[in-house]
Amino acid sequence: MSRPRFIVVEGPIGVGKTTLARRLADHYGSDLVLEAPDANPFLPAFYADPTHAALPTQLFFLFQRVQQVQALRQDDMFRPVRIADYLLEKDRLFAGLTLGVQELRLYDQVYERVAVQAPVPDLVIYL
C-alpha cells in the first residue's frame, strides 16, 4: 500500500480532530489545513441564538473552506503529505442540520456557485 498524500481527520466538534491532524502533520512533516472557527465573527451569535445566526455562520465557514480548498488545489501537488481537519462536504451536511428550509435553499444556491472540486482524500480518519 502506498503512503497517503492527502489525509483528512473528521468527526464531531471537540472530539480531537485538530489535535490528531497536528500530530500527523508533525509526523509526516506536512502541510496542515485547519478549520478556523475563531475567525468566524458570527459564531458567538450562533451559539447564543442558532435560529437567527445559522445562515451567516454557515456562509462564512463555506467561503473560508472554499478559499482553503482552492489554495490547496493550486499549491504544489508534489508535497509528500497534506493533512486537514475537515471535509468540504461536511459543510453542506451541517447546513442541513442548522438551517431552515428557505435558508437551506439559499445556501444551496450559493454552495453550487462557489464550491470547488475538493481534492479527494486518500485516507479519512473518523473520530
Active site residues: 85
> Residue 8's beta-bridge partner residues?
84, 124
> Residue 82's beta-bridge partner residues?
6, 31
Q: 64-77: string of b/e by CB count within 10 Å (b at 16+)?
A: bbbebbeebeeeee
How far is CA 44 from its chain centroid? Answer: 19
Q: What angle do CA 95, 65, 34 make, to 5 degrees?
A: 110
Q: Who contacts 27 (Cβ-Cβ below 8 Å, separation ≥6)?
A: none
